[in-house]
């Protein structure tokens, strides 16, 4: 594979953002930042055999998800996605057609948000495929949805439904058997091609104050991060967890709870805001058809994350979920 010929094949044929002054073609890209905005930058790496399995996902799906997980981080910062960079470390068993499909997967998502590909790097490696994506967005000065923003008596909320991605992974790995093909497609697509909650993140950023996390490592882990950063306790109601009708058809209560609390990779948003702001947020979300659910409250009388069951029993939720070096 010729590197320069490959670059020409994946080079975008148009630019979405007028702030781009120099795109792909020089040693570096140049873009002009917007007045009154802060730049938001994040990076994520996906490693074959750790974050995806080649026999279970197409190159297109792998590329789509590699960009989606980064855009989800921007959503948690209430940022507008603008640009992205791709770095690939490619072993010899991946060919040019595979790599072009990876770029096509990213292109599908980038077109939805009008993100411009501004460059990257491609190198060879002797082992597994490694994809590193860097995304850049912008957020208005003064708009911050930091983990440290939670306050006593805040409402704790989550967008969408949780646990579907973990169910999809269990199906792909053969750990759960589902004979209904429609249900199987629903769960596996939730895992392979998550939808970043950018619109919800922007609405939440409109509030006077809010904390946010995207659900990548599991609800329990994300809540603990907010709890630790804000120095508050959080209590959530087990019966309030938003589970999809599809997930409820599986009927295994303990498994559903594990998937919802610890499964991760739903890429929904979990956060907190004041009771007054919660009323505005639910109204705004309803108008745009965004599902959002109150699941608990912030309690500064303790510093832990607690799960309340129907019979008023309380269980401490540890900061566990997906970890890149162990599975808990």
Partnered with residue 245 across adjacent β-strands are: none
d(CA 167, CA 259): 7
Was 216 annotated as part of a binding site?
yes
Q: Please state whether 218 falls in left (phi above 0), alpha (psi between -120 and 50) or beta.
A: left
CA angle 292–151–157, rounded 5-degree value: 10
The sign of the torsion formed by the CA atoms of 107, 20, 202, 241 equals positive
Q: Is 103 among the annotated ligand-binding positions?
A: yes
User: Would you say 304 is a known binding-site residue?
Assistant: no
Q: Which residues of 16-57 form beta strands (DSSP E)?
A: 20-22, 30-31, 37-47
Ordered alpha helix ranges (H), 153-218: 164-172, 181-192, 198-205
Structural tokens at position 299: 């309690």
2 has binding-site annotation: no
98 is in an annotated binding site: no
- Which residues are within 8 A (CB) of 88 and not within 5 positions of it... i.e. 6 or more apart? 99, 102, 120, 121, 122, 123, 129, 130, 131, 132
Instruction: Please check if 27 is assigned to a binding site.
Output: yes
322 carries a ligand binding annotation: yes
SS3 of 296, please?
Answer: strand
Two structure tokens written together for 227: 């709890």
Tell whether 154 is in a known binding site.
no
Would the annotation count 49 as a binding residue?
no
The Cα 152–Cα 223 span in angstroms is: 14
Please enumerate, by residue number, every residue annotated as part of a binding site: 27, 44, 51, 73, 103, 120-121, 147, 214, 216-217, 265, 322
Please enumerate, by residue number, every residue annotated as part of a binding site for ATP: 103, 120-121, 147, 216
Please enumerate, by residue number, every residue annotated as part of a binding site for Mg(2+): 27, 44, 73, 121, 214, 217
Please enumerate, by residue number, every residue annotated as part of a binding site for substrate: 51, 265, 322
């Amino acid at each position: 594979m010729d590197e320069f010929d490959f670059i020409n094949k994946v080079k975008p044929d148009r630019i979405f953002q007028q702030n781009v002054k120099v795109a792909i073609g020089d040693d570096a890209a140049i873009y002009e930042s917007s007045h009154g905005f802060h730049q938001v930058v994040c990076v994520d790496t996906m490693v074959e055999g750790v974050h995806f399995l080649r026999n279970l996902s197409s190159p297109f799906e792998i590329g789509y998800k590699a960009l989606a997980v980064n855009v989800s981080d921007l959503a948690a910062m209430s940022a507008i996605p603008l640009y992205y960079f791709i770095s690939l470390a490619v072993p010899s068993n991946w060919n040019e057609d595979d790599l072009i499909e990876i770029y096509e997967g990213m292109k599908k998502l980038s077109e939805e948000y009008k993100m411009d590909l501004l460059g990257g790097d491609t190198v060879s490696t002797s082992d597994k495929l490694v994809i590193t994506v860097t995304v850049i967005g912008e957020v208005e000065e003064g708009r911050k949805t930091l983990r440290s923003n939670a306050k006593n008596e805040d409402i704790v909320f989550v967008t969408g439904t949780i646990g579907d991605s973990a169910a999809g992974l269990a199906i792909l790995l053969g750990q759960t058997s589902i004979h209904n093909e429609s249900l199987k497609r629903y769960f596996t697509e939730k895992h392979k091609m998550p939808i970043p909650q950018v619109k919800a993140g922007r609405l939440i950023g409109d509030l006077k104050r809010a904390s946010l996390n995207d659900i990548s490592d599991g609800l329990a882990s994300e809540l603990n991060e907010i709890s630790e950063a804000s120095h508050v306790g959080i209590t959530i109601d087990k019966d309030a967890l938003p589970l999809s009708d599809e997930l409820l058809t599986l009927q295994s209560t303990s498994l559903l709870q594990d998937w919802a609390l610890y499964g991760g990779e739903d890429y929904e948003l979990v956060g907190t805001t004041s009771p007054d702001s919660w009323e505005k947020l639910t109204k705004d979300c309803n108008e745009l058809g965004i599902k959002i659910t109150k699941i608990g409250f912030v309690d500064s009388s303790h510093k832990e994350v607690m799960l309340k069951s129907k019979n008023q029993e309380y269980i401490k939720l540890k900061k566990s979920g997906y970890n890149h070096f162990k599975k808990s």
